[in-house]
Chain A
Amino acid sequence: MAMEIRYSNVSADYQLGPIRTKNVLDDVNLFVKPSSFTAIVGQTGAGKSSLLKVMNGLIRPKQGEVKIGKYSVSSNNDPTSLKEVRKRIGMVFQFPESQLFAETVEKDICFGPLNFGVGLSEAKEMAKTAIYQVGLDASFLPKSPFSLSGGQKRRVAIAGILAMKPDILILDEPGAGLDPTGKQEILSLIASWNKNNKLTTLMVTHEMDDVAKFAEDVIVMEKGKIIFHDDVRTFFADLNQIQSWNLDIPEARRFQLLIEEKTGVSLPKICLTVEELADCLIEVGLA
């Protein structure tokens, strides 16, 4: 079931005992459409990861409330009620492969479902489905997760999340550290789950090319606040604004601007991918 996500006036910090730190989220209001694919961008330390962590109660808001479907996360709800929310939200952390721990891939993937009260045989079924979903096959199930390559480990870690059949998938830099091919594969898989299973997806990334290629909507964060939230074309249209946020533009767009500046020829539209740029160059007769 697709669920909508709504943040109302959410503030949060990393409280450590009595010591309060600066707000990592500062009065955030946000509405995420069910089944959408949203990229979250911003400088390091802007609060991107924190925005995701608040959603499943890993950081409790100091003020305000996050509504996920009928569930709610706020400072005064009972921590045990968070279990229901966490069942619905699959969270993939930075370097998720560091969470692998079991002797076999199968046990690792089953761990989540078993903890949420699923029977063993059903959990094994779920593991089998999940391993195919991440582009691996059943021959990996009896292997030790530690014998796999970096890209395979990451897929197993993500399979562990998918096995819980979440309604919302949140990913914190899922491509970091993978080779370009491995990265494109993982991101294409994520995009296909979003499309085929209507899985609401939020992804933190620094790669504007990936934003251009996969996301529908973009959230820009700065110093704990959301300063932009709109669709991806609108986001990339205003170059000055993007530069004022110290963000990058996709390679294709950057190169387009360089060509336009040097040749004085302006291309018919804003190009976000290399294919679009090639077509435009041919159209205006430059190539």
Chain B
Amino acid sequence: MVLDSTNPIIEVKDVSFRYDLRNSAETLSSINFSVQKGEWVAIIGNNGSGKSTLAGILLGLYKPQFGSVTIAGYELNEETKWEIRKRMGIVFQNPDNQFIGSTVEDDVAFGLENLNMPYEQMKMRVYEALHMVDMYDYRHADPTRLSGGQKQRVAIAGLLALQPEILLLDEAFVMLDPKSRKDLLKTLQKLKSRHQLTIISITHDMNEAASSDRIIVLKNGTISSIGTPKEVFSKELDFEAPFTEKLRRILQMKGRNVPNTYMSEEEMVEWLWK
């Protein structure tokens, strides 16, 4: 099937899922959303809201009991999941869960070896990926003996080397120091605009979510809102908000005459300046 540029790259239709059929409670129920190519979508929600389960479904690790998932023109099922996984990669929260190689470069090359990529090309890809995450100097190190944040960067490099169309990040930045986090976010932004990379990031970092194109809020397995950061943060009041929103709410509480909706940093400064 040819992918029409107007078709969404990911389309999730009416998906419901429960881990144990004996349980009446659904981990996810009636999830509907779509993602356009080159879009950055953040998924937020508390522990246990179903975020990681949703990631598992997008990857074909779990089969939903109802509904369908279409990715890059393929409807996700047992036959198509390998085709889809060539185009999509995931970085998990705890990088220890995905190391295989005995050196950093072996580990990054592992995915490429599985694709039977010629050696010279593979070497280039590994070189580029390790530079993107600033871990080239550690290419001969044993990945299991790196620090938490370094491991996370290697795991991300392993994925970038595959040059996927869709990048799924399941809290992949939690162990990074703020500078590495910012650098990586910048790198991903660049890849997004240059190669139309689609990014789905599951995160608890509201400031990271605020910089995405759209936010999906999960609550107890259902989508409670979906929209631009501005729309979402003005509506979801019981959520840990980005910094400017916290400040706005405190000022409001103290009886100041602040606007009633979420403001980005620029808008906030503008308003203070008025």
Give me the interface of A with B, judged by CB distance under 8 Å: 14, 16, 21, 41-46, 48-49, 94-95, 98, 149-151, 172-173, 176-183, 206, 208, 246-248, 251-252, 255, 258-259, 262-263, 274-275, 277-278, 281-282, 286-287
Contact = CB atoms under 8 A, between A and B. Distances in A.
B149 interface: yes
A182 B153 contact: no
Nearest to B145: A14
A155 B263 CA distance: 35
A179 B180 contact: no
B117 interface: no
Contacts of A206: 149, 175-178, 181
Given A94-B148, A178-B47, A259-B272, A287 B179 contact: no
A180 B240 contact: yes
Contact of B254 (A49, A94, A98, A278): A278
Interface residues of B, number: 42
A277 B244 CA distance: 11
14 contacts: A42-B177, A43-B180, A45-B146, A46-B147, A150-B48, A151-B47, A151-B48, A173-B148, A173-B174, A178-B47, A179-B204, A246-B179, A278-B254, A281-B251
Nearest to A258: B269
Which label, helix, strand, loop or mixed, suits the secondary structure of the B interface?
Answer: helix
B243 interface: yes
A287 B265 contact: no
A44 B46 contact: no
A49 B175 CA distance: 12
Interface in B219-267: 240, 243-244, 246-247, 250-251, 254, 256, 258, 265
B179 A274 contact: no
A282 B256 contact: yes
B57 interface: no
Most buried by B among A44, A149, A281: A44
Contact of B269 (A45, A246, A262, A282): A262
A274 B178 contact: no
Contacts of B180: 43-44
A275 B152 CA distance: 34
A179 B250 contact: no
Most buried by B among A49, A149, A206: A206
A180 B179 contact: no
Given A44-B148, A178-B47, A247 B178 contact: yes
Given A173-B148, A287-B251, A149 B48 contact: yes
Contacts of A281: 251, 272
Contacts of A277: 247
A282 B247 contact: no
Given A176-B174, A208-B178, A258-B265, A287 B256 contact: yes
Given A177-B174, A247-B178, A274-B243, 20 more contacts: A14-B145, A43-B179, A43-B180, A44-B149, A44-B150, A44-B152, A44-B176, A49-B147, A149-B47, A150-B48, A177-B171, A179-B47, A179-B240, A247-B179, A255-B244, A255-B268, A262-B273, A263-B269, A278-B247, A282-B256
A278 B251 contact: yes
B47 A255 contact: no
A41 B178 CA distance: 11
The 7 A-B pairs at the shortest CB distance, nearest first, are namely A44-B149, A180-B240, A248-B178, A251-B243, A149-B48, A278-B250, A179-B46
B207 interface: yes
Nearest to B238: A181
B16 interface: no
B136 to A, nearest CB: 14
Contacts of A246: 177, 179
A215 to B, nearest CB: 16
Given A95-B94, A150-B48, A45 B256 contact: no
Most buried by A among B93, B177, B272: B177
A262 B269 CA distance: 7
Contacts of B145: 14, 16, 21
B191 interface: no
Contacts of A43: 149, 177, 179-180
B246 A274 contact: yes
B35 interface: no
Given A178-B204, A282-B251, A45 B149 contact: yes
A14 B46 CA distance: 37
A43 to B, nearest CB: 5
A286 B250 CA distance: 14
B132 interface: no
